Amino acid sequence: MEFRELRIAGAWEITPRTFGDDRGVFLEWFKDSAFRAAVGAPLELKQANCSVSAAGVLRGVHFTDNPPGQAKYVTCVRGAFLDVIVDLRVGSPTFGQWDSVLIDDVDRRAVYLAEGLGHAILSLEDSSTVMYLCSIEYTPTLDRDLHPLDPDLAIDWPTVGRDGTPLTYQLSEKDTAAPSLAQLVEAGVLPRY
């Protein structure tokens, strides 16, 4: 496994070694010893999720109150997503900035994001499937959202899918109604660095 720290402290891209032959492919998408060596801390696992999305489905930017915060380890098992991490930690040198990784069923990369970071994914083809490990169980009272198309974030979302077809963004009602970064700052609900 190869770990590369992203521009946002606490966020990593993980590229696994794959072993393929005429039968298919094998890889380790998470390995505790490699993770601890690169990140310097364990990943407490409390929940595993799977989400299947049509092309253009945009989920996020989601985060949880910190503490306790929720760390995530995310990979794509079918299709392709642009995975975006946003630094929402007030006082961080990269506050309000974002970084992204293409996760897909070709390179089989994963992304790790620590507590206090926001997370969003955009599906780049129909039936794209993402799986992620979480450090805490889903707790609705801790859940927070930030509008993924907030112009202050200026996230460079792709406008075409993996096959070159134009994308029409599809957001949930919850994500459509999510506040802007400025509104979250004003409300004082963002994590601290």
The residues annotated with a catalytic role in the active site are: 62, 132
How many C-beta neighbours within 10 Å does residue 107 have? 14
Tokens standing for 181? 């970064």
CA distances from 123 to 58, 116, 157 (A): 7, 23, 11
CA 52 to chain CA centroid, Å, is 14
Please check whether residue 124 is in contact with residue 55, taking contact to mean a CB–CB distance below 8 angstroms: yes
Q: How many CA atoms lie within 13 A of 63 on its CB side?
A: 29
Distance CA 123, CA 108 (A): 15
Please check whether residue 71 is in contact with residue 115, taking contact to mean a CB–CB distance below 8 angstroms: yes
DSSP assignment letter at 73: E
Q: Torsion over CA of 87, 146, 150 and 110, rounded to 10 degrees?
A: 50
